[in-house]
């Protein structure tokens, strides 16, 4: 009986791949690489399905029979884009291109859940739901994708075990069981590093302890050099995902301001909230970089503000705001009156400064996954970069630079297949 089911499932996989697969990498990290077969994306009624491939850099244990290991999963995933829910319909696991396990359930019987943010499920859903095209003539059985035939499909001779597994490059990864727990841990590390306690280990923006060597300065900084989801980035190609507006509550002012030698950071009183992905993040602090760290279509800005938010588990979201030279910014005006030149000496702020004074009214944004831009460069950070720049006067920009005495922008990092959505 089991054999028959496997044979049947295999048949469907083959059928599903009868049109050459076009794998698009949508995420890669230390653990795995996630790709979607663009040709397989098919929308039927309210469900959109796609074949997904996850290549693991170290073998994973099968949950049902832990003696079986696999380094590649091919999955048929269904997405309810309207409700933002996903379900697994079929699973195939391979080790060295040999099928070791398979299971399947009809999409109707599958359990649809809201994916945990930033997991493969979530990333795949965002990609698939943003690229799907409505089917003009929904045929009930055709597995053929309606995607436009403009891109030349890569020829795939051997659809099922075609993937030469990424095991030749066993990166020094700690054996993390599932991606899910990872960002939390890393984010905790990051939050610590963002606190004004600052530089226990010495690092700089120039010279021997500069960005190219951050990963070698301390074992904890290794990901600065080995990470695949590092920040900052250049925003070039984006995927339109018609995202919801930012939900912000910003009634509580800045408490104090500190120059930690790497940046000038203003810490907020408790109570400001960013709501995203059904999660709630507290605004912790804003700090500045000159010139900007992220760039938009290759364009750098003279100043960039990072509003760092953390949830109860230590997951991080950073809202980035660019400043171009122009009119004086009122928030910065009040803030800079007390800008400290002494390192690590926080100063209580006398005037009332709100985050909203340093954010534009139009808050359309780019979203991508990234990292801290300073050591330890921990990944798993949600980045929300507001498209519309604010202005700051030339004097304001120069005032920041003269207090800091050096530029504090890490160079732009490779995207490595990450998708930027807008």
Q: Residues with catalytic annotation?
A: 262
Nearer to Zn ion, 69 or 256 (CB): 256
**Nearest-angstrom CA–CA distance, 414 and 67:** 37
∠ at Cα 373 (347, 335), nearest 5°?
25
Residues numbered 319 to 378 that lie near Zn ion (CB under 5 A) are 373
3-state secondary structure string across 35-66: EEEHHHCEEECCEEEEEEEEEEEEEEECCCCC
Scanning 88-96, 133-141, 304-312, 362-370 for contacts with Zn ion by CB under 5 A, the matching segment is 304-312
Whether 22 and 153 have beta carbons less than 8 Å apart is answered as yes
Given its phi and psi angles, is residue 401 left (phi above 0), alpha (psi -120 to 50 degrees) or beta?
A: alpha
Cα atoms found within 13 Å of the Cα of residue 157, Cβ hemisphere only: 1
Nearer to Zn ion, 132 or 410 (CB): 410
User: Looking at beta carbons, which residue is closest to Zn ion?
Assistant: 306
Rounded to a whole number of angstroms, the minimum distance from the CB of residue 228 to Zn ion is: 20
Nearer to Zn ion, 52 or 355 (CB): 355
Rounded to a whole number of angstroms, the minimum distance from the CB of residue 372 to Zn ion is: 8
Q: How many residues bind Zn ion (CB under 5 A)?
A: 2
Rounded to a whole number of angstroms, the minimum distance from the CB of residue 301 to Zn ion is: 13
**Nearest-angstrom CA–CA distance, 7 and 1:** 10
3-state secondary structure string across 283-325: EEEEEEECCCCCEECCECCCEEEEEEEECCCCCEEEEEEEEEE
Whether 57 and 32 have beta carbons less than 8 Å apart is answered as yes
Scanning 49-57, 188-196, 302-310, 410-418 for contacts with Zn ion by CB under 5 A, the matching segment is 302-310
Rounded to a whole number of angstroms, the minimum distance from the CB of residue 287 to Zn ion is: 5
Is 382 a binder of Zn ion (CB under 5 A)?
no
Whether 238 and 421 have beta carbons less than 8 Å apart is answered as yes
Scanning 42-50, 116-124, 269-277, 299-307 for contacts with Zn ion by CB under 5 A, the matching segment is 299-307
The string of DSSP codes covering 196-254 is TT--SS---SSGGGSGGGHHHH-GGGTHHHH-SS-S--EE-S-B---PPPPEEE--S-E
Strand partners, 369: 382
Nearer to Zn ion, 104 or 210 (CB): 210
Nearer to Zn ion, 74 or 306 (CB): 306
User: Tokens 């996954």 appear where?
Assistant: 369
Nearer to Zn ion, 284 or 306 (CB): 306
Rounded to a whole number of angstroms, the minimum distance from the CB of residue 390 to Zn ion is: 16
**Nearest-angstrom CA–CA distance, 48 and 37:** 13
Rounded to a whole number of angstroms, the minimum distance from the CB of residue 251 to Zn ion is: 24
Taking Cα atoms as reference points, which of 160, 168, 179 lies closest to residue 73?
160
**Nearest-angstrom CA–CA distance, 110 and 113:** 10
Is 132 a binder of Zn ion (CB under 5 A)?
no
Nearer to Zn ion, 60 or 373 (CB): 373
Whether 321 and 304 have beta carbons less than 8 Å apart is answered as yes
Rounded to a whole number of angstroms, the minimum distance from the CB of residue 306 to Zn ion is: 4
Nearer to Zn ion, 29 or 373 (CB): 373
Neighbours of 33 (CB within 10 A): 22
Rounded to a whole number of angstroms, the minimum distance from the CB of residue 294 to Zn ion is: 10
Whether 123 and 26 have beta carbons less than 8 Å apart is answered as yes
Contact residues for 177 (Cβ-Cβ < 8 A; gap 6+) = none
Is 306 a binder of Zn ion (CB under 5 A)?
yes
Contact residues toward Zn ion (CB under 5 A) are 306, 373
């Amino acid at each position: 009986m089991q054999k028959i089911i496997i044979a049947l499932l295999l048949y469907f996989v083959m059928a599903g791949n009868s049109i050459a697969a076009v794998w698009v990498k949508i995420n890669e990290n230390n653990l795995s690489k996630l790709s979607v077969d663009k040709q397989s994306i098919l929308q039927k009624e309210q469900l959109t399905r796609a074949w997904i491939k996850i290549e693991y850099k170290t073998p994973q244990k099968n949950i049902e029979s832990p003696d079986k290991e696999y380094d590649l999963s091919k999955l048929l995933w269904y997405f309810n884009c309207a409700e933002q829910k996903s379900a697994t319909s079929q699973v195939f696991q391979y080790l060295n291109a040999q099928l070791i396990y398979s299971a399947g359930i009809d999409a109707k019987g599958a359990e649809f859940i809201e994916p945990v943010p930033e997991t493969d499920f979530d990333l795949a859903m965002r990609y698939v739901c943003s690229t799907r095209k409505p089917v003009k003539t929904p045929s009930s059985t055709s597995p053929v994708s309606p995607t436009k035939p403009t891109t030349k499909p890569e020829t795939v001779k051997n659809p099922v075990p075609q993937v030469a597994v990424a095991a030749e490059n066993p990166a020094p990864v700690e054996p993390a069981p599932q991606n899910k727990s990872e960002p939390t841990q890393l984010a905790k590390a990051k939050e610590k590093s963002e606190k004004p306690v600052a530089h226990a280990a010495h690092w700089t923006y120039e010279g021997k302890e500069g960005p190219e060597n951050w990963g070698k300065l301390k074992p904890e900084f290794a990901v600065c050099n080995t990470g695949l989801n590092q920040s900052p980035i250049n925003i070039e190609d984006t995927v339109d995902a018609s995202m919801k507006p930012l939900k912000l509550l910003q009634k509580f002012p800045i408490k104090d301001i500190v120059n930690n030698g790497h940046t000038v950071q203003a810490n907020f009183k408790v109570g400001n909230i960013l709501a995203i992905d059904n999660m709630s993040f507290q605004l912790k602090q804003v700090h500045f970089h000159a010139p900007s760290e992220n760039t938009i279509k290759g364009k750098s800005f003279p100043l960039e503000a990072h509003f760092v938010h953390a949830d109860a588990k230590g997951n991080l979201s950073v809202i980035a705001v660019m400043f171009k030279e122009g009119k004086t910014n009122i928030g910065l005006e009040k803030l800079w009156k007390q800008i400290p030149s002494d390192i690590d000496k926080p100063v209580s702020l006398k005037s009332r400064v709100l985050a909203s004074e340093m954010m534009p009214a139009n808050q359309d944004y780019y979203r991508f996954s990234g990292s801290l831009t300073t050591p330890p460069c921990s990944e798993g950070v949600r980045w929300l970069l507001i498209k519309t720049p604010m202005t700051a006067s030339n004097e304001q920009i120069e005032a920041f630079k003269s207090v800091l005495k050096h530029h504090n922008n890490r160079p732009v990092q490779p995207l490595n297949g990450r998708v930027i959505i807008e």
